[in-house]
């Protein structure tokens, strides 16, 4: 968007206030070498006569023997209208303000088992807390102390964005159920995890990785 009271009209810098530019197709000559006769003005062709084939030279019909054809881009004038000022010889200058809408996200995962944290981030869970305000306050009374500490850290980080104007903030605590299942296999203690409301399974130590399509339900 244009910043108010910053506009001014100045001579076009590209065409030097002439409104025209030299045609790049013909380099300002207004004509180009004829492609039909390759600039010779005449064409040679073989014709069949009564006494056999003969080579006949004729005037090129495309350029009428001149070896040149009018440039179609500039219509033979050797110049084209300036694309910057569109032939007006003047341009408008102003300061342009660019606004970018952006969501700055921060995450902290509290997980006590050996389940990888990245698996927890995108699965379904229940909403434990949510606060939406122009400026949210850190959580201080949650039963898990690590949540309180992470809340203070994230709130401080999200109040220090340079060159940004904060319009709204949202603070969310999402609770994802995780169940660790221990079992014995050939005198070895192994485990797997069931996590999320849709009961996804993570079993990296499952003993039979190739079991003809069987899966843990």
Q: What is the pLDDT of residues 6-17, one digit of tens each?
A: 999 999 999 999
- Whole-model pTM? 0.54
CA-closest candidate to residue 26, choices 68, 82, 56: 68
* CA–CA separation, 157 and 106 (whole Å): 9
User: What structural domains and CATH numbers belong to the chain?
Assistant: 20-81 (2.10.230), 126-173 (no CATH)
CA-closest candidate to residue 120, choices 105, 129, 110: 110
pLDDT > 70? residue 42: yes
Average pLDDT over residues 86-95: 95
Q: What is the pLDDT of residues 129-144, one digit of tens each?
A: 999 999 999 999 888 9
- Sign of torsion over alpha carbons 174, 146, 203, 191: negative
Bridge partners, 85 (sequence order): none
Average pLDDT over residues 98-118: 89
pLDDT > 60? residue 149: yes
Cα–Cα distances (Å) from 185 to 129, 137, 189, 203, 212, in that order, read 41, 49, 6, 14, 19
With bands split at pLDDT 50, 70 and 90, how would you rate the model's confidence at 189? confident
Cα–Cα distances (Å) from 52 to 45, 46, 48, 118, 204, in that order, read 14, 10, 6, 86, 88
């Amino acid at each position: 968007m244009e910043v108010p009271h910053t506009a001014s009209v100045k001579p076009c810098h590209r065409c030097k206030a002439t409104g025209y530019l030299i045609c790049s197709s013909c380099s300002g000559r207004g004509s180009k070498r004829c492609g039909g006769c390759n600039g010779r003005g005449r064409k040679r062709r073989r014709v069949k006569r009564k006494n056999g084939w003969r080579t006949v030279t004729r005037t090129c019909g495309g350029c009428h023997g001149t070896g040149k054809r009018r440039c179609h881009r500039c219509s033979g004038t050797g110049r084209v209208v300036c694309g910057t000022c569109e032939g007006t010889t003047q341009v408008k200058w102003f300061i342009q303000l660019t606004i970018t809408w952006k969501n700055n996200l921060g995450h902290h995962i509290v997980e006590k088992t050996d389940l990888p944290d990245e698996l927890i981030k995108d699965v379904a869970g229940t909403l434990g807390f949510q606060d939406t305000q122009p400026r949210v306050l850190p959580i201080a009374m949650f039963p898990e102390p690590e949540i309180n500490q992470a809340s203070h850290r994230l709130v401080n980080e999200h109040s220090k964005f340079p060159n940004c104007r904060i319009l709204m903030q949202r603070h969310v605590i999402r609770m994802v159920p995780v169940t660790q299942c221990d079992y014995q296999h050939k005198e070895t203690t192994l485990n797997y995890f069931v996590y999320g409301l849709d009961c996804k399974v993570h079993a990296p130590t499952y003993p039979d990785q190739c079991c003809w399509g069987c899966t843990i339900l």
